[in-house]
Structure 1
Amino acid sequence: MEFASIIQTLSIAALPVVLAITLHEAAHGYAARYFGDPTAWLAGRISLNPLRHVELFGTILLPILLYLVNSPFLFGWAKPVPVDFSRLRHPKRDMLWVAAAGPAVNLVMALGWAALLKVDTLIPVNQFSYPLALMCQVGIGINLALMALNLIPLPPLDGGRIAVSLLPWSLAIRFARLERWGFFILLALMYFNVLDVTVWPLVSLLKQTILSLFQLN
């Protein structure tokens, strides 16, 4: 890929990727404060400013690498927002809402990018039409990928937190102990292509559903 093409690609993908990753984390902080934990707020992490959440490798370098190698799905991460679940008003119950806030925001953003793509198809064609369409496609894809990946029921992913919240106490405590191994389990799932037959087909289905919803197919 030529240098000029790389720069063009990065300029198109940068905004949707950074927003998807950083606003996901900001949503956790907002939800935690709403349910009684001010930890993220006191640390200055409840902010829509992406710079407060950017982590060099997970937010920038990894998504860029995946995009440049034509990976069918993009994902990454930001600096985790600090949440002290013990300070929530109802720790076990409220954990569900704090964990679900990130994926929920990703779904909203995916719908927002789809709506913008629809607008792009309705206005007269101009020099920005094609780049904007590509940006919207990246926005839909990265947000759905992050939402689906984070909803895997594996601590410390959001899906794991949700599972801990829903399970009875005895099972929740034992399940939460998986957190120390969660990252390695996720790597194993990726290495053995488990996500290729579970998560990524779901992402493709969701994307087609959203495109159909906005009559973009």
Structure 2
Amino acid sequence: MSRSSPIDLDRPIWTALTTRQAHLGNGDALARRYHSDVAPFAALASETPAAYEALHQLLKPDEQVALLSAEPLVLIDALHPMQIGMLHQMIATHHEGGSIDDRDVIRLGSADTQDMLDLVEKTKPGPFGKRTREMGNYIGIRDQGRLIAMAGERMCIDGYVEISAVCVDDDWRGKGLAGRLMKILHREIVQRDETPFLHVFSSNRSAITLYERLGFEVRRTFHLTRVKQAEPGSAIAG
């Protein structure tokens, strides 16, 4: 397997959808997207009118997808943008050695899907669909059968794996569960000779502080923009 260069992290969605996760999406050489029940992300080969038109063709009238970009998007009239916020991309620069507390940590699979969706609905860690768990490995912790914490892998490109869906039930926050799960994923990713990375809203200082403590640092910042088909007649005449 060839290893991606760090510059591929500048286009993580496109790189994932044209390599290791191509089977989880659809599109062509101009625009690609994940299947809607996997993840709400799409990407362009380049920001050209032809690529935006290809993206438009991938969307149903009631669908929307999210794109990462270095600068604010300038779309064709057929697409309507809504700025969601700024995302920091953080990459692991070091890994703590020593033992990690993995007691009670379980592997999550298809039988756990509804419990995973329920926890996401309560905690709002970010987008998570019925098939998101197919993007990578997911682990969690249960208490008396109830799923109270989880974390997993999302975008994967050669040499790099994104940690995502880190969430803890409100009743169990402050007990270090998120850190434990992230350390386990970090260790496993490194053991595969890959490097963990993640995305976090630039305004989420508490999460950024946790990630920095776990060995991550900000690599770059993206605009996150939600895109959908424009309503008929909504284009501004110029």
Q: RCO higher in 1 or 2 (8 Å CA, sep ≥ 6)?
A: 2
Between structures 1 and 2, the one with greater strand share: 2
TM-score clears 0.5: no
* TM-score range for the pair, normalised by the shorter chain length: under 0.3
What TM-score, normalized to structure 2? 0.26
What TM-score, normalized to structure 1? 0.28
Between structures 1 and 2, the one with greater helix share: 1
